[in-house]
Copies of this chain bind each other. A is one copy, B any other.
């Protein structure tokens, strides 16, 4: 640690960690809106719908009844039970509440998993491109994300071959995502099985990000828990359940790991949001599920529209997204500097999208992620505006 002007500077960790560009773009977009500009948001992984009415009503009821105190740090028992039933009904598998931990967003779950599994200088395999925060959580605890370049040929996913090739002495596991951010690709039952078997052989942990489950456009998007009950799963109430601003997620892990992470959560979080948990109980009501499933079909329609439109404009889409909220495009026809391209598109045309540089290093400067988080009219208007830039 170096001194300057008599006072100490910041940690090396803080210097190493890069900004999350999507959050910066979002902030800039909100600033422009406060100045009166009309911005079309295709940037953040946030459903443009408010939280569904039954969930909001349940939250308001809890607040009205004074459910505003600390909760059990692992989650209110009713919510852990509701998730256990959700796995039984939606996936046909038995996941006891003792294997489920409620977390402050999926972010809280990733923090706990990294704190639990990674010693300093140990590493976990992640895809490049992939969800950027993963590598920063690993950096936080002085461990490393080992970026594995993945290509359209592999559906932008880790394969057993890639895991084998990249496994080192200090590697302790692999993190995959299905459906993935930013590419929207999924891992099949067979893919998951092969990865799980290999990781067992290697003695490594398997962590699967399933936060875009429920927002899939093909029939069979299995949970790793159907295949490997010892895997770690990160999930969230933000995406399919549409509760972004409530900050609530969950994880599933082996029971002894849950117990250890609950201990860590006692110090790191003290408690979860109690109103959010009571609100989340309404996620599993039939009337809510009907709303949420309708919204997924709306996303499908938007994805189909935007995909065609972007391709027509000259963006190339190496893998058709099978889920999540994104289209990951190769924009090399228009730019060799996606940061600059995205900033120009925001400032000049009022369309907020995310540069590939958020998601890794490989081809990052040529890629742009579009989130279809605006309605068809806005999407159509966004396409017109993008066309002005992309000519």
Residues of A within 8 A of B (CB): 1, 3, 6-8, 10-14, 17-20, 23-24, 26-27, 30, 44, 46, 50-51, 56, 59-60, 63-64, 66-73, 104-105, 107, 111, 115-120, 122, 132-133, 136-137, 140-142, 172-173, 200, 203-205, 230, 243-247, 257, 260, 263-264, 266-276
A281 to B12, CA, bound (A): 36
Question: Smallest CB–CB gap between A389 and chain B, Å?
Answer: 26
Are the CB atoms of A66 and B46 closer together than 8 Å?
A: no
B140–A268 touching, CB < 8 Å: yes
B23 touches A270 (CB 8 A): yes
Chain B contacts for A244, CB-based, 8 A: 68-70, 271
Within the assembled complex, what's the spacing in Å between the Cα atoms of A72 and B120?
A: 31
Min CB distance A70 to B, Å, is: 5
Cross-chain contact B263 with A19 (CB below 8 angstroms)? yes
Report which of B10, B20, B119, B271 forms a contact with A267, defined as CB distance below 8 A: B20
A17-B263 contact, Cβ under 8 Å, with A137-B268, A273-B246:
yes
B267 x A117 contact (CB < 8 A): no
Contact B273 A10 (CB under 8 A): no
Bound CA span A142–B118, Å: 11
| Closest chain B residue to A139, Cβ basis | B267
Complex contact B17–A44 (CB within 8 A) = no
On chain B, the residues within 8 Å of A272 by CB distance are 247
Beyond A69-B50, A70-B26, is A267–B133 a contact (Cβ under 8 Å)?
A: yes
Pick from B44, B136, B260: contact of A70, CB under 8 Å = B44
Given contacts A140-B268, A141-B141, contact A68 B115 (CB under 8 A): no
Contact A260-B14, Cβ < 8 Å, known A111-B268, A141-B141:
yes
Chain B residue nearest to A64 in the complex (CB):
B60
Q: How far is the CB of A30 from chain B (nearest CB, A)?
A: 6
Residues of B with C-beta under 8 A to A120: 120, 142
Residues of B within 8 A of A133 (CB): 267-268, 270
Chain B contacts of A260 at CB under 8 A? 10, 14
Cα distance A244–B1 when bound, in Å? 36
List, in ascending order, chain B residues with CB within 8 A of A46's CB: 69-70
Question: Is the Cβ of A116 less than 8 Å from the Cβ of B70?
Answer: no
Query: Quick check: B136 and A11 within 8 Å, CB to CB?
Result: no
Q: A237 CA to B203 CA in the complex, in Å?
A: 44
- Jot down 22 A-B pairs with beta carbons below 8 A, ordered by A: A8-B204, A10-B116, A10-B257, A12-B119, A13-B115, A13-B119, A17-B264, A20-B263, A30-B72, A56-B64, A60-B60, A68-B246, A104-B269, A107-B270, A111-B268, A136-B268, A141-B141, A141-B142, A246-B273, A247-B271, A273-B276, A275-B275
List residues of chain B with CB within 8 A of the CB of A122.
1, 11
- In angstroms, Cα B271 to Cα A379, docked, is 25
Are A173 and B142 within 8 A (Cβ)? Answer: no
Residues of B within 8 A of A44 (CB): 70
Nearest CB on B from A130, distance (A): 13
Closest residue of B by beta carbon distance from A52:
B68
Q: Which of B7, B23, B137 contacts A73 (CB 8 A)?
A: B23
Cβ 8 A contact of A203, one of B3, B20, B73, B104: B3
Q: Which residue of B lies closest to A122 (CB)?
A: B1
Instruction: Assess whether B245 is in contact with A274, with CB atoms less than 8 Å apart.
Output: yes
- Residue numbers in B under 8 Å from A105 (CB-CB): 269-271
Contacts of A8 in B (CB 8 A): 117, 172-173, 203-205
In the complex, what residue of chain B is closest to A256 when comparing beta carbons? Answer: B10
Once the chains are docked, how many angstroms separate the CA of A62 from the CA of B116?
36
Contact A119/B68 with A60-B60, A141-B140, A260-B10 known, Cβ cut-off 8 Å: no
In addition to A14-B263, A105-B269, A245-B273, 12 A-B residue pairs with Cβ atoms within 8 Å of each other are: A7-B203, A8-B172, A8-B205, A11-B119, A17-B267, A20-B263, A26-B70, A50-B68, A68-B246, A107-B270, A137-B267, A273-B273
